[in-house]
Amino acid sequence: MKKILSLIGLFIICNSCVGQNSTHLYSQDQNNGIETSNPKLVVGIVVDQMRYDYLTRFYNKYGEGGFKRMIKEGFNCKNNHLNYIPTNTAPGHASIYTGATPKYHGIIGNSWYDKETKKNVYCASDDNVQSVGTLSNAGKMSPHRMVATTFTDENRLFTQMRGKTIGISIKDRGAILPAGHTANAAYWFQGKSEGNFISSSFYMNDLPKWVNQFNASDKVESYFKIWNTLYKINTYVESGSDLNNFEDGFKGKETATFPYDIKSLSTENNNFDILKTTPYGNNIITDFAIAAIDGEQLGQDNITDVLAVSYSSTDYIGHNFGVNSKEVEDTYIRLDKDLERLFNTLDTKIGKGQYTVFLTADHGALDVSAYLQSVKIPSGYLDFKEVKEKLNVFMMETFGASDLVENISNNQIFLNREKIILLGLDLVDVQEAIVNEIIDYQYVDKAYTAAIMSSASFSTGIKSLVQNGFNQKRSGDVFVIYQPAIISYYSITGSSHGAGFNYDTHVPLIFFGKGIKHGDTLKKTRIVDIAPTMSALLGTAFPNAATGEPLEFVLED
């Protein structure tokens, strides 16, 4: 009898332990199908070209409901970095959502030289699909060049395609890559003379009713108005002088200074496209995201949906006006209010404590090199045309051929391998010869061959960043690293990015909402850790090529 009672007790204890330690948050219910203690909605926010110090520099200008709410209620990873080169938009969005670097997911740039077709290809272009919502080719896009799954894909697979995924951005790549291969939809903004959100036949044959209604409204046109600073400009002490020599501005306006009459300037600045380079572009994305929450009924059941939102106007403004501009400061002050508006909507529509948000960036940005020079910080501009001419002379003198370099792009040199074989040359010898030549060029700091990237393993330093961005099938033969604060094109106005230095790699990472602890850390985290963390939160499989690790210290037990 005692043995029977002991066995019964052991059975009860074991079942109790299984229940307490289970990390799978889904359970079956005869009446409701899938029940879950997971968030009803995950919102991934990527701010294009957001340096980490925009959080701290403009902190006192932010309200309580946006960035500060995330920090005060959530978990702030203060030392978060991209761990690959190049630090550009498409690789950034792909890496955030796949948990992998370009080495594995294949998105090695916004565009790149295709070694098979001998042409440049765009990261999302797809001639096998049709535009939806526009007569132009702007909708002929899909994620087919990204060879890995995203955490959004894994959530779709886990929920038997019942959990929705919607991607939204001004840029096509900012909507398509995060949404993944199995998304219900990705929408992006078609400017010029249209001013509408469009999509691709990869997702649908026709735009849904709610999108048509949004496009038919006057919401977008309402932002053709004056852009002035939200607060008095003399209080913007966190940025430089409004009138300076380091900003581009808009055609039709003599100086890049506030205020800007967006409606009157639109004619000379490609009509609706001008809105992309104002904070109103972010307003439009928030408007559309809120419409999507209603139109798609996101977060209205117990099966987790994902809304991927990318704010791209920050990038356009950064390139135009530069890191230290009043325009960038005003843009982030206004973005903070957009976040508050989005969070308030989520509170109302989904419910406080029922959704989870993460916010990060696809890359940072370099201060305008001409500005850095003016304050005596080493910086400069590389004459790319001169480099190409000098390299061609070297190739002719050394190998007797001037056409061995097939393409130079994304700081990579692509060689004509067929010609190398025809001349009886050794590919590795040619790669090494180029490295030994260009290392002496002005502003070149380091250079590496594809042979080294394929055969050696690097875990630290700039070499590891190059290797994490090196895709053996798609990348070039030689990789060139410039000195810090060097831009490989000449323009004394506006910011750029793409390097592996801290100004490009150090970006925000904040989690808040359901399942997230409150706190912060200076422990180094990586952009590829985001997707595995979200997968761990949801109890799904990790993206199939993920190399990142779950940040368990941000998750509630």
Which residues are catalytically annotated?
Answer: 89
Please name which of 535, 27, 557, 533 lies closest in space to residue 302, comparing C-alpha atoms: 27
> What is the Cα Rg of the chain in Å?
25
Which DSSP state fits 112? E
Asked if 458 contacts 478 with a C-beta cutoff of 8 angstroms, the reply is no
Cα separations in angstroms, 54 against 80, 333, 365, 374: 14, 10, 11, 22
Task: Please state, as a whole number, how many other Cβ atoms lie within 10 Å of the Cβ of residue 349.
Answer: 18
DSSP assigned state of 350: I
- Provide long-range contacts, Cβ within 8 A and 24+ apart, for 113-117: 113/406, 113/407, 113/409, 113/412, 113/414, 113/476, 114/474, 115/414, 115/417, 115/474
For the chain, the helix, strand and coil percentages under 3-state DSSP, each to the nearest 5: 40, 20, 40
Nearest to 464 by CA among 85, 94, 123, 11: 85
| Strand blocks (E) in 133-242 | 165-169, 185-190, 196-200, 226-227
* Type and span of the H or E element at 47: strand 41-47
- Residue 293 and residue 299 in contact, taking contact as beta carbons nearer than 8 Å: yes
Q: Which residue has the tokens 């843009």?
A: 331
303 close to 34: Cβ distance less than 8 angstroms? yes
The strand pairing partners of 409, in sequence order, are 412
Find out whether the peptide bond into 102 is cis, omega within 30 degrees of 0: no
Evaluate whether 478 touches 434 at the Cβ level (below 8 Å).
yes
| Tokens linked to 400 | 């007797």
User: How many Å from the N-terminal Cα to the C-terminal Cα in the chain?
Assistant: 39
- Other C-beta atoms closer than 10 Å to the C-beta of 168 total 25
Tokens 């998304």 correspond to what residue? 183
For residue 264 the two structure tokens come to 């009157």
Asked if 177 and 93 touch (Cβ cutoff 8 Å), the reply is: yes
Task: Assign 281 to helix, strand or coil.
Answer: helix
Per-residue CA distances from 10 to 3, 15, 304, 532 (Å)? 10, 9, 35, 35
* HEC profile of 398-465: HHCCCCCEEEEECCEEEECHHHHHHCCCCHHHHHHHHHHHHCCCCCEEEEEEHHHHHHCCCCCHHHHH
